[in-house]
Amino acid sequence: MNFTYPKNERLKSKTTIGLLFSEGKSVSKYPLRLVYCAGEAGSEEKFRVGVSVSKKYFKKAVDRNYFKRVLRETYRLNKNLLWDNVEEHYSFMLFYQSKDRLSYDEINTKTIQLFEKFLLQVNKTADSEHKTEL
């Protein structure tokens, strides 16, 4: 497993981001929220990920940038949980939604729990779709 976060894994498409907000599903694990939707199967990358921190909670750009760096780093170190257990292509947005200033270790733990919760939800919907086909 390659623990990198290359440019082609970054979510930059305005249409895809708009699709996430209009049709995306979400999973939350306080203070993180993951909004996801199925991506294009023809794309070279399995996942496209963007991060966001609310200006409402962190007025200074320095603070927002710090938490965005932490979110990208926790994704980078824990993306093997997703890569090993998901076959489809997905687009994600990770949100930090709290005034609380959690430490890096706490955010890392919450990210792992969030990914596990996402995997449970995706596998549950895949099972229900498989049953309806039969």
Give residue-wise pLDDT tens across range 10-67: 999 899 899 999 999 999 999 999 999 987 755 677 889 999 999 999 999 999 999 9
Give residue-wise pLDDT tens across range 51-67: 999 999 999 999 999 99
Give residue-wise pLDDT tens across range 90-118: 999 999 999 999 999 999 999 999 999 99
Q: What residue ranges do the domains of the chain occupy?
A: 9-128
Query: Would the pTM count as exceeding 0.85?
Result: yes
CATH class of 9-128: alpha beta
Cα 43 from Cα 40, distance rounded (Å): 6
Q: How far apart are the first and last CA of the chain?
A: 35
3-state secondary structure 40-70: CCCCCCCEEEEEEECCCCCCCHHHHHHHHHH
The alpha carbon torsion through 44, 83, 96, 77 (nearest 10 deg) reads -110
Q: Nearest to residue 51, comparing CAs of 82, 10, 93, 15?
A: 93
